[in-house]
Amino acid sequence: MRETYGRLLPEMRLGDLAGKLIVIEGTDGAGRSTQIDLLRPWLEELGHAVVDTGMTRSPLAGEGIRRAKEGNNLGRVTQALFYATDFVDRLENEIVPALRAGFIVLTDRYIYSLMARAIVRGMDPRWIRSIYSVALKPDAVFYLRLGIDQLLPRVVFSRGFDYWESGMDLYPGHDMFDSFCSYQAALLTEFDRLSAEFNFQMVDAAADARTVCVHLQHNILQLLERDSRKNFMSRLYNDSTTAPQPALQEKAPDRAKQPADATLFAVANPASTPPSNGNGHHHAAHHGQ
């Protein structure tokens, strides 16, 4: 049965949440939304109903947070709690009902980003963990990791520096560049710490988007095959796929244990491919490409 991180909200029933909760985490510019845009149609083609959600999208608090951030006078505790309000609104009214209806929920960031941001801003880690103890444990957390050296060109040559992404509220004396580097480095350190604690599956986000996507698809299929509705689903996959096995495959487990800056999924060695369970998921992995 599904679990929370320790505390249960009133009227939150966990018994019948049949769907899957898949988290895409990572720092700013790691390509999270690109991946979700690729994964959603792929999953729908396979016959899964998908809901995607992300920070500040709640009907209750999204607009309020955007307004508050415009003024640059949003305090650190206030900021942490405003985001918690937004998260819990989406948890109760979007994520849980979707899981109950059997949807796959793809979420762009989850409590981990919120905890990292708050901790980097000096909040007591025990305090922020206590607040998010009401969150559901997801089925998988994919952490798209990007070092600062790789992140910088993406930011500089696309959207430029943003006040909040540069942590200017934390380092008011710095210029945007220095502030950005200090802030993102602090976030990365915190993410790496959370990664071990919450069992993230590490993904090298420096690779091109297609490669990252193939990796994610492979792991998501493994997750879906463990589903209790497996027999039904494997029929579905066999029906919908005819393509040969994809060239890119690698072992999914043990990702989180590798050093953070290692090449996390090099060219696949077919010999090291985990045995297929014969219900055609590799075909499916190739299907959306």
- Using CB under 8 A, which of the segments 26-34, 97-105, 129-137, 261-269 binds another protein? 129-137
Of residues 33 and 78, the one with the C-beta less far from another protein: 78
84, 140, 146, 151: which one contacts another protein (CB under 8 A)? 84
CB atoms within 10 A of CB 126: 7
Nearest-angstrom CA–CA distance, 214 and 281: 12
**Phi, psi (deg, nearest 5) at residue 107:** -115, 125
42, 82, 110, 237: which one contacts another protein (CB under 8 A)? 82
Q: What sections of the chain are H helices per DSSP?
A: 32-45, 62-70, 76-90, 96-100, 111-120, 125-131, 148-156, 176-198, 209-225, 230-240, 281-287
Question: What SS3 state is found at 206?
Answer: coil
Query: Are 201 and 142 within 8 A, CB to CB?
Result: yes
Query: Are 106 and 82 within 8 A, CB to CB?
Result: no
Binding of another protein by 248 (CB under 8 A): no
Burial of 97 (0-12, 13-18, 19+ CB in 10 A): middle
- Using CB under 8 A, which of the segments 7-15, 99-107, 187-195, 219-227 binds another protein? 7-15
Min. distance of Cβ 134 from another protein in angstroms?
7
Of residues 59 and 253, the one with the C-beta less far from another protein: 59
Binding of another protein by 163 (CB under 8 A): no
Of residues 121 and 218, the one with the C-beta less far from another protein: 121
Binding of another protein by 77 (CB under 8 A): yes
104, 134, 144, 207: which one contacts another protein (CB under 8 A)? 134
Nearest-angstrom CA–CA distance, 222 and 121: 37
Binding of another protein by 177 (CB under 8 A): no
Binding of another protein by 78 (CB under 8 A): yes
Binding of another protein by 57 (CB under 8 A): no
Q: Which residues contact 271 (CB under 8 A, 6 or more apart)?
A: none
Q: Up-side HSE of residue 98: CA atoms within 13 Å toward CB?
A: 21
**Phi, psi (deg, nearest 5) at residue 242:** -135, -10
- Using CB under 8 A, which of the segments 116-124, 178-186, 234-242, 255-263 binds another protein? 116-124
- Using CB under 8 A, which of the segments 20-28, 80-88, 137-145, 194-202 binds another protein? 80-88
What binding mask, one character per residue, do residues 194-233 give for another protein by CB under 8 A, x or -? Answer: ----------------------------------------
51, 74, 152, 252: which one contacts another protein (CB under 8 A)? 74
- Using CB under 8 A, which of the segments 69-77, 178-186, 241-249, 258-266 binds another protein? 69-77
Q: Which residues contact 224 (CB under 8 A, 6 or more apart)?
A: 20, 48, 233, 281
| Chain contacts with another protein (rule: CB under 8 A) | 6-11, 59-61, 63-64, 67-68, 71, 73-78, 80-82, 84-85, 88-89, 92-93, 121-124, 126-127, 129-131, 133-134
